[in-house]
Amino acid sequence: MTTGATVWLTGLPSAGKTTIAYELAGQLRADGHRVEVLDGDEIREFISAGLGFSREDRHTNVRRIGYLAELLARNGVLALVPVIAPYADSREAVRKRHQESGTAYLEVHVATPVEVCSERDVKGLYAKQAAGELSGLTGVDDPYEAPEAPDLRIESQHQSVEESAASVFTLLSERGLA
């Protein structure tokens, strides 16, 4: 059986989390690994429908995703989780769940500055917030608690998607997980 693990990619909206996760998934699948990408937007649509963006709802969403990731990981899947998870205590609860089950967990901070994220604005969220059509945007008018000691920090504005994915692949290899 292959070793599973959860790789949680946290960062601001439009930081590059999902793009890096899908690039990495392709590399890992090419090497014969079982991989699932738990995209935060898809999870909200199918598993966390009905939750809003209050602190409590965000915590519930992260815990649900953490449960699913740990379930997959302990069954030999590399679960790549590109989810903002803005609060440190929510991410810590997910890490503890993994520790308690003896399941590998890596936190990757995609530390793209808000100015770069707002230029990328993949979903138009920053434009909507600037126009007053949206409030509660993480990192702008809602808090984002950056990880103090992630397993890896990526500054995606200084490297290509391929280089970012390769750095996560290297971390997985160094930990005996890829």
Q: pLDDT tens digits for 117-168?
A: 999 998 999 999 999 999 889 999 999 999 999 999 999 999 999 999 999 9
Secondary structure (DSSP) of 33-102: --EEE--HHHHHHHTSTT--SSHHHHHHHHHHHHHHHHHHHTTT-EEEEE-----HHHHHHHHHHHHHHT
Supply the pLDDT for residue 154.
98
Which residue has tokens 């946290």?
10
pLDDT by residue (tens digit) across 80-106? 999 999 999 999 999 999 999 999 999
CB 10 within 8 A of CB 92: no
Supply the pLDDT for residue 30.
96
Supply the pLDDT for residue 2.
66
Answer whether residue 1 shows pLDDT above 70: no
